[in-house]
């Protein structure tokens, strides 16, 4: 199986709220720091990829953030303009502006057109080898299948014309497991785990795209090992607790309560981790990223995510 | 709320909690970004309303990921409204005053129903239902969820079968998308594009202004595809009057005073930012913001600054403290546990303080703000929903 960073196109998806963008940003940073020319593209125009790199807003034109790292955000109208000027070479370039606006209407109404403009642009970057790796902060798990199968949908709907002729090479890139992979970001909670299992299954049944890895984000640390938990419980008895408070210079009860909360949270999540592992193919790589007890979610957090991913990938 | 439309019956009694709020409303729309517990909150509120307020309460979920089915232990319930058996309540030791019903949005089914209702004649109806483009739009494309959700809400509301309908909104790119969906649908039917597409092919080519577009579109998409689109929209346009009228009616229901919005969030920065944006959007549209529900909030004791030096002492002086404890022989192990406990507190304190800060930054607050603590275990049954419901109800 091709390892994660050996591929050229990675679609990072997952249920809303699991930290999809954080993982996409971390993966891109890691790849860039490994010396790969990396493009990270935000598909959902929420504009918060920029926050993860502490940079200004990203645009359709890729912007270099640091050595070997570029960021962009998808804009289907810009993608269409680029496509028209590259592929058609019509003597109409000056009129493409208003045309594209009209086209935006068609794109909204005709199924698959927006999706193909998104996937097409990304696959094109891969085909032209402008980058070693393109990391896509893709749409959430409920929508991603429609995006990934856009070339096939268009192929079904459009019988002739340039777009149809373009779908084959796109599908070839998307369906090649050596080049393209999907990364599902999950979290050790019930709903994200269910959605991950469901999506893994749908990818297998409804697409020919390879699932490259599952990243489990926000894994809480195991607090105690061996007999430490028993020891913790006996220290929590009123007598010892009063003694500890006396020598620690203040009431330690909230500190112990917090530890109990941490243990319970960790335990309830462990069940879901087990469910996830059991219901995914045994040879599917799973990467674990711990919950980050940091103050911000900016570059500092992105760097920590990258470091944890590096560790999990054995880099 | 100052921006709210003045009502002429002069009731300015503000709701103090969710119970009072829901007692005066017929439609509650639960919104917020993904992963914040929107669906669970909607289901919990509906279960509480059915239990305590009585009447027939429906929770309508529109999420394609079928989460509510999970939470209610109903594996499959589609477009049809299904009653949660009273045995399920009895199993939790509850005797509800009313009935709880649930339905999940089946987008494809709802579109088909809509076409059946608005098609001028059986021939047009069948032509639309069997059109390839139509099948693609209605089945596969998520954008259509927005509109269908609001349309279905309207349909159920006007059928008059429920005292209260709690709606869980679809996961959209932006939470406000679905608010604008009815308007967008109406705009689409009156757009120039649609007129152009549905004009006879001959006059389309003759029309000088649209010629360059037609040339490009023809080369890119092919004439056949354009004709398919034209045929489809030609058929579809025959339903325009019904659709536009309907979209306007849906918009009216959303701004009716019997409708209220409950914004759900956690205290993480991204969901909270989206919640704030949504609250603004409601205000601008003069829609009623009823409550803010904050989920997964860490306990207040974690923020206590007086505890910080105590936790630090456990981290740093675990050895000395362990030495002074009678009856604990393995000092190294005790020191390790004290260190872990102290460190864990400090870790969680960072998160709790960050969250409190973000909470304080919320510019506008509705009359009802409910906070829900972190639960030890997940909510996957009615008992869990009721437990959550108790937290937000009073």
Tens of pLDDT along B60-102?
Answer: 886 644 555 666 656 666 678 889 888 889 988 999 999 999 9
Q: If pLDDT is split at 50, 70 and 90, which confidence band does B137 have?
A: low
Angle at B20 (CA atoms; ends B73, B14), nearest 5 degrees: 140
Mutate: best of A14, A17, A185, A229, partner B, most B CBs <10 A: A17
Which ipTM was obtained for this model? Answer: 0.85
Whether pLDDT at B367 is above 90: no
Distance from B173 to chain A by nearest Cα, in Å? 7
We report the CATH number of the domain holding residue A55 as 3.40.50.300
Asked if A45 and B173 come within 8 Å (Cβ–Cβ), the reply is yes
Asked if B216 and A194 come within 8 Å (Cβ–Cβ), the reply is no
Q: Are strands A286-290 and A211-219 parallel, antiparallel or unpaired?
A: parallel
Residues 6 or more apart whose Cβ sits within 8 Å of residue A29: A53, A69, A302, A303, A305, A306
Domain annotation covers residue A231: no
More confident residue, B268 or B209: B268
State what percent of residues in chain B have pLDDT above 90.
Answer: 34
Where does A96-174 have alpha helices with state H? 96-109, 113-127, 141-148, 150-157, 162-174
Using CB atoms, which residue from A158, A251, A265 is nearest to B221?
A: A158
Whether pLDDT at A7 is above 90: yes
Which residues from A are below 8 Å from B320, CB to CB?
247
Whether pLDDT at B372 is above 50: yes
**pLDDT at B220 (0 to 100):** 66
Ranges assigned E (strand) in chain A: 9-14, 38-42, 63-66, 69-73, 133-137, 180-186, 211-219, 286-290
Burial class (CB in 10 A: 0-12, 13-18, 19+), A269: buried
Domain annotation covers residue A205: yes
Which strand (E) or helix (H) includes residue A307? helix A299-312
Lowest mean pLDDT among A84-98, A206-220, B167-181: A84-98
Q: If pLDDT is split at 50, 70 and 90, which confidence band does B143 have?
A: low
Ranges assigned E (strand) in B206-320: 259-265, 289-297
CA A181 to CA A171: how far, in whole Å? 13
Distance from A15 to chain B by nearest Cα, in Å? 7
Return mean pLDDT, chain B.
Answer: 81
Asked if A162 and B35 come within 8 Å (Cβ–Cβ), the reply is no
Which residues from A are below 8 Å from B221, CB to CB?
106, 110, 158, 161-163
Mean pLDDT confidence for A65-79: 92
**CB contact, 8 Å: B206 with chain A?**
no
End-to-end CA distance of chain B: 21
Mean pLDDT confidence for A206-229: 93
Asked if A268 and B377 come within 8 Å (Cβ–Cβ), the reply is yes
**pLDDT at B3 (0 to 100):** 41
Q: Three-state DSSP class for B331?
A: helix
Asked if A140 and B338 come within 8 Å (Cβ–Cβ), the reply is no
Tokens read off for A127 = 């085909």
Residue range(s) defining the domain that contains residue A285: 4-222+270-312
**CB contact, 8 Å: B36 with chain A?**
yes
CA A230 to CA A123: how far, in whole Å? 55
Mean pLDDT confidence for B23-50: 90
Residue of B nearest to A262 (CA): B344
**pLDDT at B119 (0 to 100):** 86
Mean pLDDT confidence for B311-315: 96
Q: Which has the closest alpha carbon to B107: A276, A142, A171? A: A142
**pLDDT at B234 (0 to 100):** 76
CA B76 to CA B162: how far, in whole Å? 21
More confident residue, B64 or B307: B307
Residues 6 or more apart whose Cβ sits within 8 Å of residue A201: none
Domain annotation covers residue A245: no
More confident residue, B136 or A199: A199
How many Cβ atoms from other residues are within 10 Å of residue A165's Cβ? 12
Asked if B173 and A46 come within 8 Å (Cβ–Cβ), the reply is yes
Q: Which has the closest alpha carbon to B57: B391, B385, B394, B387? A: B385
Q: Are strands B259-265 and B289-297 parallel, antiparallel or unpaired?
A: parallel
| Cβ proximity of B136 and A157 under 8 Å | yes
Residue of A nearest to B140 (CA): A146
Asked if B218 and A112 come within 8 Å (Cβ–Cβ), the reply is no
φ and ψ of B256, to 5 deg: -65, 145
Which strand (E) or helix (H) includes residue B104? strand B99-104
> In chain B, what are the helix, strand and coil shares in percent, each to the nearest 5?
60, 10, 30
Which numeric CATH code is attached to B18-298+374-393? 3.40.50.300
DSSP per-residue codes, B121-145? SHHHHHHHHT-HHHHHHHHH-THHH
| Cβ proximity of B63 and B171 under 8 Å | yes
Q: If pLDDT is split at 50, 70 and 90, which confidence band does A36 have?
A: very high
Q: What is the DSSP letter of A78?
A: H
Using CB atoms, which residue from A142, A227, A261 is nearest to B142?
A: A142
Domain annotation covers residue A251: no
What would you measure as the largest C-alpha separation in chain B, in angstroms? 99
More confident residue, B128 or B162: B162
CA B75 to CA B82: how far, in whole Å? 12
**pLDDT at B6 (0 to 100):** 41
CA B260 to CA A125: how far, in whole Å? 47
**pLDDT at B1 (0 to 100):** 39
Mutate: best of B225, B264, B295, B316, partner A, most A CBs <10 A: B225
How many Cβ atoms from other residues are within 10 Å of residue B146's Cβ? 23
Q: Which has the closest alpha carbon to B248: B191, B189, B197, B192? A: B189
Return mean pLDDT, chain A.
Answer: 88
In chain B, domain spans? 18-298+374-393, 301-360
Mean pLDDT confidence for A26-36: 97
**CB contact, 8 Å: B351 with chain A?**
yes
Mean pLDDT confidence for A77-92: 70
CA atoms within 13 A on the CB side of B377: 9
Whether pLDDT at B319 is above 60: yes
Domain annotation covers residue A233: no
Asked if B65 and A15 come within 8 Å (Cβ–Cβ), the reply is yes
Residue of B nearest to A253 (CA): B307
**pLDDT at B4 (0 to 100):** 41
Asked if A112 and B136 come within 8 Å (Cβ–Cβ), the reply is yes
**Strand order, beta sheet including A63-66:** A63-66, A69-73, A38-42, A133-137, A9-14, A180-186, A211-219, A286-290
The pTM (predicted TM-score) of the whole model is 0.83
More confident residue, B210 or A186: A186
Q: If pLDDT is split at 50, 70 and 90, which confidence band does A179 have?
A: very high
**Strand order, beta sheet including B82-83:** B82-83, B99-104, B56-61, B164-168, B27-31, B259-265, B289-297, B368-373
Using CB atoms, which residue from A140, A189, A244 is nearest to B171?
A: A140
Domain annotation covers residue A238: no
Q: Positive or negative CA dihedral for A232, A234, A236, A239?
A: negative
Mean pLDDT confidence for B283-308: 92
More confident residue, B69 or B355: B355
Burial class (CB in 10 A: 0-12, 13-18, 19+), B26: middle
Tokens read off for A193 = 């785990």
**pLDDT at B205 (0 to 100):** 46
Whether pLDDT at B199 is above 50: yes
Domain annotation covers residue A249: no
Q: If pLDDT is split at 50, 70 and 90, which confidence band does B361 have?
A: confident
Asked if B342 and A255 come within 8 Å (Cβ–Cβ), the reply is yes
Whether pLDDT at A240 is above 70: yes
Range picked from A46-55, A64-73, B30-39 for highest mean pLDDT: A64-73
Whether pLDDT at B116 is above 70: yes
**pLDDT at A151 (0 to 100):** 87
Domain annotation covers residue A43: yes
| Cβ proximity of A133 and A36 under 8 Å | yes
How many Cβ atoms from other residues are within 10 Å of residue A116's Cβ? 27
**pLDDT at A242 (0 to 100):** 95
Residue of A nearest to B357 (CA): A295
Q: Are strands A133-137 and A180-186 parallel, antiparallel or unpaired?
A: unpaired
**CB contact, 8 Å: B201 with chain A?**
no
* Dihedral in degrees, nearest 10, Cα atoms B129, B134, B136, B140: -80
CA B285 to CA A66: how far, in whole Å? 42
Which residues from A are below 8 Å from B302, CB to CB?
254, 258
Whether pLDDT at A228 is above 80: yes
Which residues from A are below 8 Å from B330, CB to CB?
231
Q: How many residue pairs bridge chain A and chain B with CB atoms within 8 Å of each other?
A: 228
Using CB atoms, which residue from A90, A189, A228 is nearest to B337?
A: A228
Residue of A nearest to B273 (CA): A48
Tokens read off for B54 = 């009585």
Distance from B150 to chain A by nearest Cα, in Å? 19
Distance from A248 to chain B by nearest Cα, in Å? 6
Whether pLDDT at B310 is above 90: yes
| Cβ proximity of A130 and B216 under 8 Å | no
**pLDDT at B14 (0 to 100):** 76
Place of tokens 């085909």: A127
**CB contact, 8 Å: B32 with chain A?**
no
**pLDDT at B307 (0 to 100):** 96
User: Which tens digit of pLDDT belongs to each residue from B333-345?
Assistant: 999 999 999 999 9
B 308-327: CB under 8 A from A:
309-311, 313-314, 317, 320-321, 324-327
Which strand (E) or helix (H) includes residue B171? none
How far is residue A23 CA from its own chain's centroid?
A: 5
């Amino acid at each position: 199986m091709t390892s994660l960073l050996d591929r050229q196109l990675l679609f990072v998806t997952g249920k809303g709220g699991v930290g999809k963008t954080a993982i996409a940003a971390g993966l891109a940073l890691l790849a860039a720091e490994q010396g790969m020319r990396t493009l990270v593209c935000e598909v959902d125009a929420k504009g918060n990829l920029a926050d993860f790199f502490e940079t200004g807003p990203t645009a359709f034109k890729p912007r270099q953030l640091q050595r070997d790292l570029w960021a962009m955000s998808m804009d289907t109208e810009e993608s269409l303009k680029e496509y028209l000027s590259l592929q058609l070479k019509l003597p109409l370039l000056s009129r493409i502006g208003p045309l594209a606006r009209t086209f935006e209407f068609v794109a909204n109404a005709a199924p698959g057109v927006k999706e193909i403009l998104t996937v097409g642009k990304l696959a094109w970057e891969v085909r032209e080898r402008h980058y070693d790796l393109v990391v896509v902060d893709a749409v959430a798990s409920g929508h991603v299948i429609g995006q990934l199968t856009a070339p096939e949908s268009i192929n079904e709907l459009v019988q002739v014309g340039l777009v149809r002729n373009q779908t084959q090479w796109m599908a070839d890139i998307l369906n090649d497991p050596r080049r393209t992979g999907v990364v599902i970001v999950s979290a050790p909670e019930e709903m994200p785990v269910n959605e991950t299992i469901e999506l893994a299954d749908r990818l297998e049944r409804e697409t020919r795209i390879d699932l490259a890895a599952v990243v489990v984000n926000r894994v809480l640390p195991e607090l105690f090992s061996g007999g430490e938990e028993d020891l913790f419980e006996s220290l929590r008895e009123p007598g010892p607790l009063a003694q500890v408070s006396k020598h620690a210079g203040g009431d330690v009860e909230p500190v112990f309560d917090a530890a109990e909360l941490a243990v319970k949270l960790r335990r309830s999540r462990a069940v879901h981790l087990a469910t996830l592992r059991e219901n995914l193919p045994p040879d599917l790589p799973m990467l674990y990223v711990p919950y980050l007890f940091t103050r911000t979610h900016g570059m500092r957090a992105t760097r920590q995510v990258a470091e944890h991913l590096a560790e999990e990938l054995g880099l | 709320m100052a921006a709210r439309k003045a009502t002429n019956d002069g009731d300015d009694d503000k709701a103090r909690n969710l119970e009072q709020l829901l007692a005066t409303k017929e439609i509650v729309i639960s919104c917020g970004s993904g992963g914040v517990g929107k669906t669970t909150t909607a289901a919990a509120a509906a279960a509480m309303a059915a239990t305590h307020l009585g009447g027939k309460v429906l929770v309508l979920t529109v999420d394609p990921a079928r989460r509510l089915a999970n939470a209610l232990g109903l594996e499959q319930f589609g477009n049809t409204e299904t009653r949660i058996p009273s045995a399920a309540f009895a199993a939790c030791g509850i005797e509800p005053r009313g009935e709880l019903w649930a339905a999940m949005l089946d987008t494809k089914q709802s579109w088909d129903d809509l076409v059946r209702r608005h098609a001028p004649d059986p021939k047009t109806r069948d032509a639309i239902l069997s059109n390839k483009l139509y099948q693609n739009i209605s089945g596969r494309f998520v954008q259509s969820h927005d509109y269908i959700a609001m349309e279905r809400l309207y349909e159920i509301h006007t059928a008059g079968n429920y005292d209260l309908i709690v709606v869980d909104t679809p996961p959209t790119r932006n939470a406000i998308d679905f608010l604008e969906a009815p308007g967008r649908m109406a705009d689409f039917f009156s757009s120039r594009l649609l007129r152009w597409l549905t004009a006879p092919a001959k006059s389309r080519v003759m029309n000088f202004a649209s010629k360059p577009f037609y040339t490009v579109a023809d080369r890119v998409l092919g004439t056949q595809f354009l004709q398919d689109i034209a045929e489809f929209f030609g058929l579809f346009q025959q339903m325009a009057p019904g659709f536009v009228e309907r979209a306007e009616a849906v918009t009216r229901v959303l701004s009716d005073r019997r409708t209220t919005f409950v914004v759900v969030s956690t205290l993480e920065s991204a969901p909270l930012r989206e919640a704030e944006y949504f609250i603004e959007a409601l205000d601008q549209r003069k829609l009623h913001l009823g409550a803010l529900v904050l989920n997964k909030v860490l306990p207040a004791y974690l923020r206590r600054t007086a505890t910080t030096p105590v936790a630090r002492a456990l981290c740093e002086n675990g050895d000395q403290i362990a030495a002074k404890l009678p009856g604990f022989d393995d000092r190294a192990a005790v020191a390790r546990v004290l260190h872990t406990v102290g460190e864990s507190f400090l870790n969680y304190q960072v998160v709790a303080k960050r969250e409190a800060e973000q909470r304080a930054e919320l510019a506008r607050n509705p009359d009802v703000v409910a906070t829900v603590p972190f639960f030890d275990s997940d909510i996957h049954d009615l008992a869990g929903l009721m437990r959550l419901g108790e937290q937000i109800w009073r």
